[in-house]
Structure 1
Amino acid sequence: MFEKLNLVVLDHRDPTQNMSRFYVLAIEPSLFGDATLVREWGRIGKPGRRRVELHENEGRAVESLENWLRRKQKRGYRIRAGGSI
């Protein structure tokens, strides 16, 4: 369980609108071993907001990650090259 790191780092930049945002999706174990999807977002260079979603198993957490990824890509976010934060 949780053998591979499930992490996606996205950003959305538009200098004409002074927009420079990030969005991070990560699957991590909770203290009790359940699967969680951690979402963090905000302006690049500033502290962001963070939400943790609990899921029954890792498969459900992956489904949720994929859904959020599709939503964010529709809004103009792109996967950051190298995927690092």
Structure 2
Amino acid sequence: MTHPMPAPLRLTRCNPQRNMARFYEVSVRPTLFGEVSLIRNWGRIGTGGRLRTETFATLEEALSALRDLEQRKRRKGYEGGAKPPR
């Protein structure tokens, strides 16, 4: 049985007094080899940002990593996005 991939998560953190306008995007996508990639994109709003991809053996491992990243970013003040599936 295949599980649907969650929608990409987009978080932002803005503070005009500090000239801060950041974004953090995370998505989960299948690979051609049956694994699952966690794709992270972050940077200043209005730029292409930086990109990093991590590969996991299962969807559950990738979703666990996504939840951990989301918790860390929200503790730092990032807001927005929908909660990923549990």
Shorter chain as denominator, the TM-score bin is 0.7 to 0.9
Higher strand share: 1
Pairing 1:52-71 to 2, within 5 Å after superposition = 52-71=53-72
Residue 71 of structure 2 aligns to a residue in which SS?
helix
Q: Structure 1 length as normaliser, TM-score?
A: 0.87
Matches within 5 A, 1:34-45: 34-45=35-46
Any conservation in 2 of the 1:34–1:56 contact (CA below 8 Å)? yes
Q: Identity over the aligned pairs, expressed in percent?
A: 36
The question of 1:5 aligning with 2:26 is answered no
Change in CA separation of 1:14 and 1:42 when aligned onto 2, cut-off 3 Å: same
Partner Cα distance (2:3, 2:51) in 1: 20
Q: What is the alpha-carbon root mean square deviation over aligned residues?
A: 1.5
Partner of 1:75: 76
Amino acid in structure 1 at the alignment position of 2:33: F
Total equivalences in the alignment: 81
Gapped regions of structure 2 (runs ≥ 5):
none
What CA distance in whole angstroms lies between the structure 1 residues aligned with 2:81 and 2:67? 16
Contact 1:10-1:80 at 8 Å conserved across structures: yes
Q: Give the SS at the match of 2:8.
A: strand
Q: Deviation above 6 Å: which 4+ runs of structure 1?
A: none
In the superposition, the TM-score normalised over structure 2's length comes to: 0.86
CA distance in 2, matches of 1:56, 1:77: 28
1:28 aligns with 2:25: no
Deviation of 1:79 (Å): 1.6
